[in-house]
């Protein structure tokens, strides 16, 4: 445990020096504030507090931005060590490969946690400023924060996996962008195409929910939208969210980080320095 904490400490230090902490936080705050400002208009019509509206907007933002940030932070984790030539020495130390990744994950999760808390926090402040009722949206905000961290942890694990598989930072970066496009953008487009093409009556009730749950990004969206009181404001996915029990999307969100880490450790173990 001490070794994992030390690895986490040194990784956090490196991220601080490399400005990753500042970049991640800055990005989250900037985007969250832009959303808060843009989302200020519809309040009167929907009849819910300003913060709940903001959280729904933030969910849509997080589903793109959190995986992207996580992959950007993690694609270099193993491939970078291979390229710098620091891996052979590290692996002669009495620390397991799983321990190395766990340490990196811990540091990166903390950074993501800081970034989303400050980012969403900034948007929440904006909501509080204009709407005294905004406190009603606080549970939704807190839920959004911890689910964002889980979503981030999943994509951090994916990042380590790709980093271990490619062994070169440039290759890992390409794979990371590809994975982001596939899971966050193309996956939903594909499902949408299947729904629109009317692929059998059973699809929307049978395979579709399972496919949505299988993708951590969709599970994140489902959970936050279904849990929010303001499903009506969410549009789009609201229908699908209502038909899938909350515990299922929560389970998917909670299991994915472990699955991703296990895959990453397995790939990391295959590397001979």
Give 89 or 266: the residue with its C-beta nearer to other proteins: 89
CA separation for the pair 118, 130 (Å, rounded): 19
- Residue 13, interface with other proteins (CB under 8 A)? yes
DSSP count for the chain of H helices, then E strands: 15, 0
Give 9 or 235: the residue with its C-beta nearer to other proteins: 9
**Residue 66, burial from CB neighbour count under 10 angstroms (0-12, 13-18, 19+):** buried
Pair 54, 36: CB distance under 8 Å: yes
CA separation for the pair 102, 104 (Å, rounded): 5
- Identified binder of other proteins from the candidate list 22, 89, 193, 266, rule CB under 8 A: 89
Taking the complex as a whole, the smallest distance from the CB of residue 185 to other proteins amounts, in Å, to: 33
The encoded tokens of residue 258 equal 């472990």
Taking the complex as a whole, the smallest distance from the CB of residue 267 to other proteins amounts, in Å, to: 17
233-252 mask for other proteins (x: CB under 8 A)?
A: --------------------
Residue 173 CA, chain-centre distance (Å), reads: 17
> What phi-psi label fits residue 207: left (phi over 0), alpha (psi between -120 and 50 degrees) or beta?
alpha
- Residue 17, interface with other proteins (CB under 8 A)? yes
Count of positions on this chain that bind other proteins (CB under 8 A): 22
- Residue 86, interface with other proteins (CB under 8 A)? yes
Give 89 or 193: the residue with its C-beta nearer to other proteins: 89
Taking the complex as a whole, the smallest distance from the CB of residue 127 to other proteins amounts, in Å, to: 37
Give 84 or 192: the residue with its C-beta nearer to other proteins: 84
Q: Which of 78, 32, 63, 225 lies closest to 154, judged by CA? A: 63
Give 44 or 85: the residue with its C-beta nearer to other proteins: 85
SS percent in the chain: helix, strand, coil, step 5: 85, 0, 15
Pair 147, 254: CB distance under 8 Å: no
- Identified binder of other proteins from the candidate list 1, 2, 132, 205, rule CB under 8 A: 2
Residues that bind other proteins (CB under 8 A): 2-3, 6-7, 9-10, 13-14, 17-18, 84-86, 88-89, 91-95, 272-273
């Amino acid at each position: 445990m001490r070794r994992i904490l030390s690895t986490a400490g040194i990784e956090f230090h490196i991220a601080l020096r490399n400005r990753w902490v500042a970049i991640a936080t800055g990005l989250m705050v900037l985007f969250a504030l832009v959303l808060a400002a843009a989302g200020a208009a519809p309040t009167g019509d929907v009849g819910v507090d300003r913060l709940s509206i903001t959280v729904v907007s933030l969910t849509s933002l997080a589903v793109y931005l959190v995986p992207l940030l996580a992959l950007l932070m993690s694609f270099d984790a193993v491939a970078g060590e291979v390229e710098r030539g620091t891996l052979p020495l590290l692996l002669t130390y009495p620390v397991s490969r799983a321990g190395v990744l766990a340490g990196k994950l811990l540091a990166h999760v903390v950074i993501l946690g800081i970034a989303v808390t400050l980012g969403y926090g900034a948007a929440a402040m904006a909501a509080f400023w204009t709407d005294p009722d905004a406190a009603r949206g606080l549970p939704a905000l807190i839920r959004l924060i911890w689910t964002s961290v889980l979503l981030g942890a999943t994509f951090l694990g994916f990042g380590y996996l790709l980093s271990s598989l490619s062994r070169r930072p440039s290759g890992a970066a390409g794979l990371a962008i590809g994975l982001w496009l596939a899971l966050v953008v193309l996956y939903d487009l594909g499902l949408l195409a299947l729904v629109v093409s009317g692929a059998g009556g059973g699809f929307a009730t049978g395979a579709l929910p399972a496919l949505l749950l299988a993708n951590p990004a969709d599970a994140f969206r489902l959970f936050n939208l279904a849990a929010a009181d303001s499903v009506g404001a969410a549009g789009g996915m609201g229908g699908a969210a209502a038909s899938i029990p909350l515990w299922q999307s929560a389970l998917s969100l909670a299991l994915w980080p472990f699955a991703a880490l296990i895959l990453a450790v397995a790939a990391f173990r295959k590397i001979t320095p």
